[in-house]
Structure 1
């Protein structure tokens, strides 16, 4: 009798019960809001006359004035907003773009720090009064020999949600 009870317990104890449950997923697909920088207008930074000997990566800085606006109906505080700037990088500074004068470039800074080209900068997506202060700073390569001339440079500033 003990053998039968032991056998019965061993065979019944090895039976596993299985159950199936369905999984349902829900969500909403939304496109990030449309954002613009200064209403889509070209940002102009006028340096006027720069003294060649004073170009040292600090002198001659000019504020880049810009505004951000986004459709406020669609906004999620978990979304990450970034600013990125692009242009033709100088060989001597990864935060500066080339001008049409060899050895002379324009560095962009955010809040006093170099703003590397093609590198997204995270910004506050819910309070645009806290946007970074951008400044353009004339820079030159160590071996540059500059002479009197006009200059220009072109870059793109982009705002994105990640």
Structure 2
């Protein structure tokens, strides 16, 4: 009878792993996703063109530098910055005024626009390092060339492209 008990115990132990395999486990799917950003990137607050409207400009006030307006823009930079600590660079590209290499041409001969970054003139096409966490104040300054005449009601426009990039 002892051997019958031993056989019954052996059969019970042999069935134990089968019992655990027959259990009904609960499963849940796990979705993992993300985006790898290898380089930092910057974006402006909008894809719409930035408009700076000077309204009426009096020729007598141009010589005094009285027409300066802030360029409204926002800049957001995200991602991994370069390990050597290089900052973001900014530049403006546009047609230079014929009477001043540091000014942008307008559609009116002898009238130009200087771009100022934190009060310093930025020549068209020149790169300048900026801190992306504290973007510079950008201003547009209307200026005139020497010996030019304007007529009342003359409208002016200028187009430039602002580029921001990690180098």
TM-score range, shorter chain: 0.7 to 0.9
Q: Is 2:162 the counterpart of 1:157?
A: yes
Question: Which residues of structure 1 form unaligned runs of 5+?
Answer: 1-29
Q: Is 2:86 the counterpart of 1:79?
A: yes
4+ residue segments displaced more than 6 Å: none
Q: Is 2:130 the counterpart of 1:123?
A: yes
1:1-162 to 2 correspondences below 5 Å: 31-56=38-63, 58-70=65-77, 72-76=78-82, 78-125=85-132, 127=133, 130-148=134-152, 149-162=154-167
Q: CA RMSD in A?
A: 1.7
How many residues align? The count is: 129
SS of the residue corresponding to residue 142 of structure 2 reads: strand
- Report if the CA contact (8 A) 1:52-1:147 is conserved: no
TM score, norm. by length of structure 1: 0.73
Larger Rg: 2
Alpha-carbon shift at residue 132 of structure 1 (Å): 1.1
Higher relative contact order (CA 8 A, sep 6+): 1
TM score, norm. by length of structure 2: 0.71
SS of the residue corresponding to residue 94 of structure 1 reads: strand
